[in-house]
Amino acid sequence: MNDLRSPKAKRKVTERLKEARMGDTQAQYDVGLMYANGTGVARSFEDALVWLESAAKKGHANAQYLVGSAYVNGAGTEKNALAAAQWLLKAADQGNAKALLKLLPVLEDRHGALAYQCSLRAADLGLPEAQFKMGDGYAQGRFLPQDAVQAAVWYRKSAQQGLAQAQVALAECFAAGRGLEQDMAQALAWFRAAALQGSAVAQMALERCDAAGQGRSGASPKPGRERRSTDARWQKFAETGSPNDAYHLGLMYMSGVCVEKNTKQAKRWLQIAAQQGHADAQLALARLYEPQEPQAAAAWYAQAAQQGHPEAQYAMGRLQRDGAYEEHSALHSLGWYLKGAEQAHPAALWSMAQLLQHGDGDAAFSCLEQAARLGVVPAQHALGQAYLEGGRVSQDFKRAAHWLQLAAEQGSADAQCALAGLYAAGQGVAQDMPQAVHWYSAAAAQQEPKAQWSLGRIFAAGGEGVAPNPRQASAWCKKAANAGYAPAQATMGLLSAKAKKYEQAVFWWAPSAAQGDPEAQFNLANAYRLGLGLERDLERAFGLMLQAADQGVAAAQARLGLMYATGEGVAADQIEATKWFLLASAGGDASAQANVERAQNLFGPAPLAEAHRRAKVWSGGR
């Protein structure tokens, strides 16, 4: 075992310490590790932190991670969650994966239990604010066992002494039947009591009750008039009340509820609440600022996010991803999405899945699945598509149909189209052509060209429960073709050619071939080869035929073989011709098989071996 205090280790410390004092970043990091491990010097976390911080300030990622960890664990310094987060974020941004594991909040309010004891004594002495805090403690399970009945008991004591916040909380208990028997008349009475004191929270609650058809019941014969006469009282109350009241008054001005809509006033009241740490107000203020003042919005999003607000954390991830906050950083973006995802924020989970899809496949799929379960429509479609295609997960048509159905029912055209395909093929569900038509029609109504084309194909051929309808088939296919959908353009070209309208056929095949549709490339190549609907051009015919053959169209491969064999549009090359005959024959083209046999009779072993080698190379590249 090496002696950490050996002369050699001490000499090493002396050398590195000299370099560290001269400003060498790596040396400062090394000296920090030496003090942390007691290598060549007496172990000292305090000295270690001094040198590690010097290196960290110069951007040394591992040093930043160790400094952050020191603030998390209180090694060589006091625990400091904010400092820890700052250093760990810097390290994570440079690719230190371990730092991500340390970024989660690890510290609790160490004075919570003492605060509870003080609140309990003050509540017993009859202070309504303390009684309200006791109610909140039981309602939220904060330093107390969660107990809705006890929460309602304390809320009632405080409400009866006239504290508006408690009256609102008690009203919510009656409205939800939480800790008390549900009683809307009592809920409305307590909401009104708080509203008459100027509580904007209560006013907003009464408006929601009105919208639900519940606001006209209860003790007051004219609740609307009674409440709407207290505008001045709301402002006075909000000036002296809690941040929550200022927040709700800001919402009233923002949405124009009971007051004239006024963005300036909305910002004023939301800012009062936000400056007192109200996370919902910070979020609402950020949303107001974002369209015109993105930097101000980002600052408020950041404050709400640091308090753990999942919607703000998602917004911060979005801003970091788009480079709208500080500088673009996928790692910072992922960090914020992670925080939101830990609170099951659907959009954050979906965004994490998208960010991780090219990296950690398992983590990406886990986020995707959670987002889908929480009802994120794109995630449900993506999950259904994953089961449909296989790859990341085992192919499972039944599961694919389940997730695609959920997304389709919420209006996703892509999911509707994919689900229709499953019904048409009878994969994961019983084959049902009318259902296929139903879902294709829903997607087609959203101008989804693939669905329009698929409808055209179904109506062209018909099926069980669906009668052939050439007119409908042509109409749907033409809509998709006019939208630029290459397979539909290829189909329209083929229909025109069958009617011997070759110029019209070329009109459809040309844009489809340009988009890479192999059927259109093959048919357009033949049009050039034969001079149908356009001037004959063998070189263009060869180029298009090669494109179609390269995409595996057996008929194109067989024709390309003949073009090489006869020198049509290209210099004759019998070995290359045989290569394409071999590939076409493997693809099931009978005429190509006859040409392969002919080549075997004409060629010697060496040319045949070369043709087979070329065919194998082509197949190996696919």
Judgement on whether residues 543 and 563 belong to the same structural domain of the protein: no
Task: Give the mean model confidence (pLDDT) for residues 503-520.
Answer: 95
Judgement on whether residues 17 and 53 belong to the same structural domain of the protein: yes
**Number of continuous H segments (helices) and E segments (strands) in the chain:** 36, 0
pLDDT in tens, 107-138: 334 445 545 664 676 677 677 877 888 898 89
Q: Which residue has the higher pLDDT, 584 or 222?
A: 584
| Cβ 308 vs Cβ 343: under 8 Å | yes
The CATH number of residue 526's host domain is 1.25.40
What's the pTM? 0.49
Pinpoint the alpha helices (H) of 177-199: 184-196
Task: Give the mean model confidence (pLDDT) for residues 541-547.
Answer: 96
Judgement on whether residues 575 and 605 belong to the same structural domain of the protein: yes
Judgement on whether residues 53 and 95 belong to the same structural domain of the protein: yes
Judgement on whether residues 567 and 533 belong to the same structural domain of the protein: no
Which of 34-43, 316-325, 388-397, 496-505 has the largest mean confidence?
496-505
Q: How many CB atoms lie under 10 A from the CB of residue 350?
A: 25
Within a domain: 584: yes
Residues of the chain with pLDDT > 70: what percent? 80
User: What is the per-residue pLDDT for 330?
Assistant: 52
Within a domain: 308: no
**Cα separation of 562 and 560, whole Å?**
5
Residues of the chain with pLDDT > 90: what percent? 42
The CATH number of residue 25's host domain is 1.25.40.10
Please name which of 374, 435, 431, 436 lies closest in space to residue 406, comparing C-alpha atoms. Answer: 374
Within a domain: 140: no
Domain boundary among 45, 73, 102: 102
For residue 263, pLDDT beyond 50 = yes
User: What is the per-residue pLDDT for 208?
Assistant: 78
Within a domain: 90: yes
Domain boundary among 50, 72, 102: 102
Judgement on whether residues 68 and 90 belong to the same structural domain of the protein: yes
Within a domain: 179: no
Q: Which residue has the higher pLDDT, 586 or 218?
A: 586
User: What is the per-residue pLDDT for 225?
Assistant: 40
Residue 490 tokens, joined: 């290829």
For residue 251, pLDDT beyond 60 = yes
Average pLDDT, the chain: 82
Within a domain: 96: yes
Judgement on whether residues 498 and 576 belong to the same structural domain of the protein: no
Domain boundary among 551, 566, 595: 551
Judgement on whether residues 543 and 560 belong to the same structural domain of the protein: no
Domain count, the chain: 3
241 to each of 49, 136, 246, 255, 263, how far by Cα in Å? Answer: 45, 17, 7, 21, 21
Within a domain: 593: yes
pLDDT in tens, 161-183: 998 889 999 999 998 899 999 99
Owning domain of residue 48: 7-102
User: What is the per-residue pLDDT for 117?
Assistant: 60
